[in-house]
Amino acid sequence: MLKITDLVKRYDTGQPVLKNLNLEIKGESVVSIIGSSGAGKSTLLRCINRLVEPSSGQIQLNGTDLTSLNRSQLRKARHKIGMVFQSFNLIDRLTVMENVQSGRLGSLPTWRAIARKYPKEDIRRAYELMDRVGIAHYADKRADELSGGERQRVGVVRALMQEPEILLADEPTASLDPKTSEQIMGLLRDLSREFALPVLINIHNVTEAKEYTDRIVGMRYGRIIFDALPSDLDKDAMDSIYSGTPAADRGADVQQSTVSGDVGAVAT
């Protein structure tokens, strides 16, 4: 379970980007985060794996307080947090297999990583996952020879090679055409079911969020102002998320839910 409590991120200049944010995610579920640019969506994801350092608050993953870990402990903990990036973050000159195996770097001795002497079990696992997402025949192809959708599939497999406890996806379809975007969202949904893996996706495409995710979290000005089923995301909720007054400024409280099958919570 991911549990975020009173999370604040404040930069040296300006107001906090995240304001006492609370969120819980349980079990195999796909949760999307929507909101205007500047709402704090990417900052939230990057605080979870501490690519961005939180100013205060607590982030727990299956009982481990990620915010209290030192550098060595954090390196180990990050291995349990898979990350899929908008820009793919592949090494273009390396093959698909080599990029995929980079997901195992935190579990290998340094000499193996440098020499690219991957354990047979890791190679077998990589082929299984690549076959599952339809890129096994590209194993020996350089990453820069692939299409955007193929590159994103490599990124997904690389994250799964970590055997993560949660998968974070930061705008995973933003660089893709509409058809490929739907394929990637469907893939993330299906993989969440197959691996009993919670998936948290920062996404701009509300239509895809409603179709492919189990729960939608709406953010505005660093706060969660909507947290409910996709079917509950009506016009009023959309107006509140994208053009309305922040819930806190209306004197309203946001009652947030825990995903474990049914979900529900709205601004009141």
Domains and CATH numbers, the chain: 1-72+198-268 (3.40.50.300)
Residue 158 CA, chain-centre distance (Å), reads 14
pLDDT class of 167 with cuts at 50, 70, 90: very high
pLDDT class of 14 with cuts at 50, 70, 90: confident
DSSP assignment, residue 94? S
Q: What integer is the mean pLDDT of 222-227?
A: 96
Q: Find the range with the poorest average confidence among 56-70, 139-153, 168-182, 254-268.
A: 254-268
pLDDT class of 202 with cuts at 50, 70, 90: very high
pLDDT in tens, 97-131: 999 998 888 666 555 655 677 889 999 999 999 99
For residue 256, the model assigns a pLDDT of 41
For residue 244, the model assigns a pLDDT of 67
Alpha helices in 79-177 (DSSP H): 96-101, 110-115, 120-133, 148-161
Q: Which residues pair with 200 in a beta bridge?
A: 31, 168
Question: What's the predicted TM-score (pTM) here?
Answer: 0.86
| Dist. CA 182–CA 176, nearest whole Å | 9
